[in-house]
Each structure stands twice: as C-alpha cells, then as structure tokens.
Amino acid sequence: MNIIPKAKNFKESGTINIASTFQADEKLLCCKKAFFRIVFKIYGVHLKEGEGGINLCYDETLAKDEYVIEGATVKASDKEGASSGLATMLQLMEKAEEGFTLRNTCIRQKPDKDFRAFMTDLGRQWHEFEALIGYVDLCYLNKIKYLQLHFTDDPIWTYPMDEFPRLGNDATRYTKEEIKYLVEYAEEAGVQLIPEFEGIGHSKQLIAAYPELFGNTYEEETEEVQAVTGPNMGKVDNIMCVGKPGIFENIQKMLSDIAKTFKYSKYIHIGCDEAKHENWAHCSDCKAYMERQRMDSTKKLYSHFVEKIVDMCISLGKTPIVWEGFPYEGTENISRDCVVVAWESHYQLAPELLESGFKIINAAWKPMYIVPPHHKSLQWSVTDGDWNVYKWQHFLAMSAAYPDPIIVEPTDRVLGGMLCQWECSLEEERPRVLLNLPMTADRTWNVEGFYTDEEFHAAKAKIMEMSEKLI
Ligand SMILES: [Zn+2]
C-alpha cells in the first residue's frame, strides 16, 4: 500500500503501462498546468495532451474534495479532489523506458480535515523566492491545502508593501512581481496561500521604518519599557503603538494591500501574540486612547485592538487567523469568525477557546514546531507521542500541556493542524520538513486510522525521494 496519506480504501493488482499523456474533462482542465510541471520536476518528462495516459474525469456523484482512482483514471467533482487524486498518482507512477509504469489500484479518499497546513518563517532568515515555489510544489505533492507565509518578524520585513516603501530592503524583500507570480502558481496547484502580517508584537521592522506612524511615545524609562527598548531607550521597540492617531487607517492600508494581492486566499493571518502590553501604560498616545475609550487595563486595550483588526479582515472578505496569545480580558468582543491557532497551551487553552466559541487549529509546540538544529532536544517527529489534531503537548513546565497532554473531544471546530517552521534557514529546516510534512499530511487527512510510526517509516521512501526534487 504505502500511499501517503494512508488510503483507507485501497486495492491493488499488479502494474499497467501508460503513455506520457494526459487528458481531462473540460471542468477539470484547470488542474493540468500544475500536474504537467510537477511531473517534469519529479520525472523529467514533458507530458502531452492525448489518450493512453492519465485520464482525469469529472464525476458529480463524488463529494467535495473527494477523489477516486481506478487504474489510470482519476475522478473528482472539484479542483481540490482532482488535485489530490493527481498528487496520489505521482506516488503510483514510475518512469519506464516508454511512458510510465503505474501501480494498478482502486482508491477512494476524502480528507477528514480541511485545514492541513504548513507555515514557514520568512521573517528571521532570508529564503530565496525559489524556496517559496518549492514549498508550493511540496504542499501539492503532500495534499497540504494551506501554505502560510510568515512574511514579517523583528529581524526581516520581506513583503513589498506599496504604500509603505521604507519597509524592508531590496536584498531581503520579495518583489511585487514575484508575489503575483507565486499567487497564480499556488492557485494553479490548488494550494491556498495564507499571508501573515505579524502585528502588535514582533513589529520591530515596522517601528524602525515608520516610528512616527507605529512607534510608542514613552513618557518614562521604567524597567518594563527598558525590557524592550534597552538602556536609554536605545533599541527599537517591537510592540506597535495601538493608540497612535491614524493607526487603524494605516493598518487598513496594509491589510487592503494583502487582501487584494492574495485574491484567491480565504484567510489572512494577523499574528496578535506575544505583545508586552504593560508598556502601553507608559505611552502617552496609548494612555490618551484608553482614556477616550474608558478602558481601565492594557489587557483590554490588547483585545480591543485584536477585535478591530479582526473586523477589518472580515470587512475585506477574508477570514482572520490569530495566534493564541491575546488576553482573556475583552475576548468576548472578538468576532467568532476569527480562527485561533492554539500552539503554546499557555495564554489560552484549546478547551477554553472551543468553549468560548472559537474555531481552532492545532499547532502544538510538540510536535508541530520545527526549530533550528542547535535545539537538539526539540526535534520532534509528528508521530512522537501519538499526536493527532485533538491533542496538545509541550516540553516546558510553563505550558498547561506539560507534562500531561491536553486532549479535546472530537469536533468539527478543530479545523485541522499546521506544521510550523520557525527561525531556520532553508538548509536547516529542509530535512525536518521533508520528514514531518508527510507525517502531518497523514495525521490531518486521517484523524483516525493513520499510519503508526513504524508503518510511516516503511512507507515514506517514495514521497521523500520525490520531495527532495522539489525543495
Ligand atoms: Zn502607544
């Protein structure tokens, strides 16, 4: 068997030989371009249109996202099902002297979870544009539906923002043309991009480039202020000033740019974690704003700001996603259309988020975080500890998911899981991604009945060999 993700309905009888050709029902022709180019990248073969090879058929009886494979025929009722079926075909093919040898199978598959995701941190170490293309291909191959791009963080701003040209520099910023190309490329592959604009905290680049628009005006150099600005306030703060006159208009300009550029994306991720809100108590602009709003705590100010930018995303036609990290106070005012990534099990816990009406995504530190190799003890595999989308684990005592995991009852409001790469260079993250992404694919596609660790390692060779040709 050895298909990843594991196919629960699977029959196999020998192999058949097929031509290097492809034909598709008109309704599914949109899948052709991505399939042709990935076949070339993996097998070095230019497919041609015609009979005798892979045949993609429209079948309206199949459910959304579902596909059926019967020999050389893939059937689906939508683009996602068709793309998934073709991605599975890649695992069944071998290049022959003429055309391909194909394992002769009957497979019927449909994902248990829609949110099967991979996130890459572009804001700590520069990733060449080609790496983003490679990650789209890798997501396609693994049937990972969402690719989140963490475009900005304290060290680097990589996104070209039309209205704010001082953000980032040419050496470590993608061009608008590259981003437009990426958006079309991902759309053709049926991979949805999630642009992340990390706001409130992690905003050093924004404040360094435009202190007059985003920087706090500290009245005094308290210990709390110094913790982020250093002695004599010599370092740039990384928490934006949420009381600055014009702040909402400026955030709106940025979100509009992102919403327009990522025209096919359902989601925008707006960060919202790890902001040292206590500092706002020492900023004259934030204090004045709190007075006008009759707010008595910086925690409420934090939630208020999240509420406002969540609403902005919704008004732009996008579903906002935030990291777990905003405080309890004021949470009741945040739209429940906002999706929360539960990662640390510290600020807010998965059961509480569900209880209070949010939909959530599992990105539990253990095992869904990939970090630089010097953190040797943190190199988890997804199969460590029998992870599934309803289980949160951590390695630090500060987390409520340590030492015992947090487990929630199965529910549709856990949308799925996300593997996250943090702080690595492409070279550093590559071996972990190659191994953990197919595991993530299996555990999010199959909430139950996924491979055991042993089965996965026996099944991984083919997909890893193909993956190595993509990134
Ligand atoms: Zn302020």
- CA–centroid distance, 242 to ligand 1, in Å, is 5
Alpha-carbon distance of 248 to 244, in angstroms, equals: 9
Q: Quick check: pTM over 0.85?
A: yes
Contact 140, 191 (CB under 8 A): yes
In the prediction, which pLDDT does 227 show?
Answer: 72
> What residue ranges define each of the domains in the chain, with the CATH number in brackets?
9-109 (3.30.379.10), 115-467 (3.20.20.80)
pLDDT tens for residues 17-57? Answer: 999 999 999 999 999 999 999 999 999 999 999 999 999 99
Tell me the H-state helices in 155-246: 176-189, 204-209, 211-214, 223-229
The distance of Cα 323 from the centroid of its chain, to the nearest Å, equals 12
- Element spanning 139, H or E: helix 129-142
- CA–centroid distance, 296 to ligand 1, in Å, is 15
Collapsing DSSP states into helix, strand and coil, what is residue 426? helix
Could you say which residues of the chain have pLDDT below 70? 228, 231-234
Through-space distance between the first and last CA atoms of the chain, rounded to whole angstroms: 26
Contact 138, 467 (CB under 8 A): yes
Alpha-carbon distance of 405 to 391, in angstroms, equals: 7
- CA–centroid distance, 331 to ligand 1, in Å, is 20
By the 10 Å C-beta count (0-12 exposed, 13-18 middle, 19+ buried), 248 is classed as middle
Alpha-carbon distance of 4 to 10, in angstroms, equals: 12
- CA–centroid distance, 289 to ligand 1, in Å, is 9
In the chain, the amino acid numbered 51 is E
- Report the C-alpha dihedral over residues 342, 345, 348, 349, rounded to 10 degrees: 80
Contact 408, 353 (CB under 8 A): no
In the prediction, which pLDDT does 377 show?
Answer: 80
- CA–centroid distance, 120 to ligand 1, in Å, is 30
Q: Maximum CA pair distance of the chain? A: 76
Q: Cβ contacts of residue 313 below 8 Å, gap of 6+? A: 255, 259, 268, 270, 319, 320
- CA–centroid distance, 335 to ligand 1, in Å, is 24
- CA–centroid distance, 160 to ligand 1, in Å, is 25
Alpha-carbon distance of 229 to 292, in angstroms, equals: 27
The residue among 127, 268, 252 whose CA lies nearest residue 197 is: 268
pLDDT tens for residues 258-307? Answer: 999 999 999 999 999 988 999 999 999 999 999 999 999 999 999 999 99
- CA–centroid distance, 206 to ligand 1, in Å, is 14
- CA–centroid distance, 388 to ligand 1, in Å, is 41
- Report the C-alpha dihedral over residues 147, 152, 154, 156, rounded to 10 degrees: 110
Q: Cβ contacts of residue 89 below 8 Å, gap of 6+? A: 54, 69, 74, 102
- CA–centroid distance, 234 to ligand 1, in Å, is 17
The 10 Å Cβ neighbour count of residue 178 is: 15
- CA–centroid distance, 343 to ligand 1, in Å, is 27
- CA–centroid distance, 285 to ligand 1, in Å, is 5
In the prediction, which pLDDT does 232 show?
Answer: 60
Q: What token pair was written down for 199?
A: 């706001």
Supply the DSSP string of 102-127, one letter for each residue: EEEEEEEE--S-SEEEEEEE-SSS--
In the chain, the amino acid numbered 172 is T
- CA–centroid distance, 360 to ligand 1, in Å, is 30
- CA–centroid distance, 217 to ligand 1, in Å, is 6
Pairing of strands 267-271, 93-95: unpaired
Q: What token pair was written down for 198?
A: 């990390």
- CA–centroid distance, 127 to ligand 1, in Å, is 32
- CA–centroid distance, 317 to ligand 1, in Å, is 29
Each as own residue / partner, the long-range contacts of residues 176-184 (CB below 8 Å, 24 or more positions apart, any chain) are: 176/261, 178/129, 179/261, 180/261, 182/129, 182/132, 182/133, 182/136, 183/261, 183/262, 183/263, 183/264
Alpha-carbon distance of 20 to 54, in angstroms, equals: 8
- CA–centroid distance, 287 to ligand 1, in Å, is 7
The residue among 194, 165, 321, 168 whose CA lies nearest residue 262 is: 194
In the prediction, which pLDDT does 233 show?
Answer: 61
In the prediction, which pLDDT does 236 show?
Answer: 78
- CA–centroid distance, 241 to ligand 1, in Å, is 4
Alpha-carbon distance of 30 to 245, in angstroms, equals: 46
Alpha-carbon distance of 363 to 118, in angstroms, equals: 10
The distance of Cα 155 from the centroid of its chain, to the nearest Å, equals 20
- CA–centroid distance, 230 to ligand 1, in Å, is 17
- CA–centroid distance, 329 to ligand 1, in Å, is 19
- CA–centroid distance, 377 to ligand 1, in Å, is 39
442-452 residues labelled b (16+ CB within 10 A) or e (exposed): bbbbbbeebbe
Contact 314, 334 (CB under 8 A): no
- CA–centroid distance, 239 to ligand 1, in Å, is 9
